[in-house]
Amino acid sequence: MKIKLIIIILLTGSSYFSQTSAERFTVSSGGGETFDGSGNSYMYDIGGVVVNTTTTVGNINLTQGFEQSNYELSDIFIFNPPNAFSPDGDGVNDTWVLPLPPALINTIDLVIFNRWGDEIARIENYNNMDNIWDGTYKISGEPVTNGTYFYIAETTEINRKFSGWVQVVR
């Protein structure tokens, strides 16, 4: 014999809220908060707007709002360097040029490792001109062999680390 137990919970209630007028506020990029006379607060800062309107109906607080994520260089910067270069002295792709926005030039510290995890090069303040990896061992200046090398790029400017690989083709 099967017994079925059915529990029904019925919650009823209603609330009504309507907005009958709109006010305009001018905000600056300096950030801050503005209040109007009806209890609404408008908060904003550099990089995003937060609007939080709260109205009390009886003992119920109705809140509506939206938030945009903060705009930061770290959010929009995608580190996607070329995965190969050919340091063979022909004047084409002889150095590993990283796609760096102007704000990050001279802020990247790069460490290159071979497949066994040995550090073969360390370049501080990478700038794609004179601080750049040219496919050599930094201690001896000898060219590295063809193959895959691994890197860790770190910038304190946006407090990020990137890692990946690059193929040296001679």
Domains of the chain: 32-67 (no CATH), 76-168 (2.60.40)
* Per-residue pLDDT reduced to its tens digit, 49-105: 444 455 555 555 545 444 444 444 445 567 889 999 999 999 999 999 999 888 888
Cα–Cα separations (whole angstroms), residue 31 to 37, 41, 49: 20, 13, 9
Question: Of 126, 120, 124, 125, whose CA–CA distance to 142 is shortest?
Answer: 120
| Beta carbons of 96 and 164 less than 8 angstroms apart | no
Helix (H) or strand (E) holding 76: helix 73-76
With 60 as the cut, is the pLDDT of residue 19 above it?
no
pTM of the model: 0.56
Question: Of 130, 170, 165, 134, whose CA–CA distance to 148 is shortest?
Answer: 165
What is the C-alpha to C-alpha distance for residues 168 and 19, in angstroms, rounded to an integer? 64
160-168/84-85 β-pairing: parallel
| Beta carbons of 120 and 114 less than 8 angstroms apart | yes
**The pLDDT value given to residue 104:** 87
**The pLDDT value given to residue 112:** 97
